[in-house]
Structure 1
Amino acid sequence: MSRIIEGVSHVDRDELYDLLHDKERNVLVIDVRELEEYEDAHIPSVPLIPMGEIAAYINDFDKDREYVFVCRSGGRSFQVTKFFQNQGFNKVHNYEGGMLNWDKEVIGGRENVIETFNPQQLERK
């Protein structure tokens, strides 16, 4: 189960894996790293919205939806999770340890890079 660190909910690797495969819960996982990092390796079907760009789209996110943010080591995703909490989002989580902790499938390339934000792009495929 998730745990709270410095006021932020964190999920571990096994929880994230389960969330990615739980269609009923409909949790959206978002990678907040930079494009170059994402192109090297990312979790399949997880969209990219870099940390520096995500604030511009805050009003397009559904406050009733659950989100998990992922980065390289958990630092940037922690900041994004905290930002979302400060904007009134209650169902947001940081992926503890980031991609450095991910030992499941990864792919390279530009799959799901969000360049012009449209909330429908964030729907699960």
Structure 2
Amino acid sequence: MREIIAGISHIDSAELQLILQNPDNKTLIIDVREPGEYIAGHIPGIPLIPMNDIPDYVQELDADREYIFVCRSGGRSYEVARFLKHNGFEKVHNFYGGMLSWSYEVTEGPEKIIQQFDPALLERN
């Protein structure tokens, strides 16, 4: 269920799971943790752009798209959502509770670590 906290929309794990299961939902979901955290366990199919790299890609992200940001506990992803909101992105959400609250499928390894920006890499398969 979505909730607005400090001006940012937060979604819970059940809603995120529904979004992931809906192939018609084109929301971009981005993990913003560090590579080691991502490799240790992440939501399958979700790309990684570490929080500190997001400012480098602001001009290349599509401000008309909807985004959900994921981190370990919800703090870093909240800061990324807040940063993008202040940069003109209206449809940004924080995954409340982060991976600590995720009880669905997790995979290990460097599946989709974004090292050179390509918008196609952000899409779910």
**Alignment pair present for 1:52 and 2:34:** no
For the residue of structure 1 that corresponds to 2:58, the secondary structure is helix
Q: CA deviation at 1:24?
A: 1.7
Q: In the alignment, which residue of structure 2 is the partner of 1:88?
A: 88
Separation of aligned partners in 1, 2:89 and 2:43: 24
Describe the superposition over 1:33-53 as per-residue Cα deviations: whole angstroms up to 9, x where unpaired. 000000000000000000010
Q: In the alignment, which residue of structure 1 is the partner of 2:112?
A: 112
The code of the aligned residue for 2:36 comes to E
**Alignment pair present for 1:18 and 2:18:** yes
Ranges in structure 2 where 5+ consecutive residues have no aligned partner: none
Return structure 1 stretches of 4+ with deviation > 3 angstroms: none
Q: In the alignment, which residue of structure 1 is the partner of 2:61?
A: 61
For the residue of structure 2 that corresponds to 1:23, the secondary structure is coil
Q: CA deviation at 1:25?
A: 2.2
Separation of aligned partners in 1, 2:75 and 2:124: 25
TM-score norm. by structure 2 comes to 0.97
For the residue of structure 2 that corresponds to 1:29, the secondary structure is strand
For the residue of structure 1 that corresponds to 2:59, the secondary structure is helix
Q: Report the count of equivalent residues.
A: 125
Separation of aligned partners in 1, 2:28 and 2:15: 13
Which 10-residue stretch deviates more, 77-86 or 22-31? 22-31
TM-score norm. by structure 1 comes to 0.97
Percentage of matched positions with identical amino acids: 52
Q: In the alignment, which residue of structure 1 is the partner of 2:121?
A: 121
What RMSD in Å do the two structures reach over aligned CA positions?
Answer: 0.8
The code of the aligned residue for 2:15 comes to E
Separation of aligned partners in 1, 2:61 and 2:21: 21
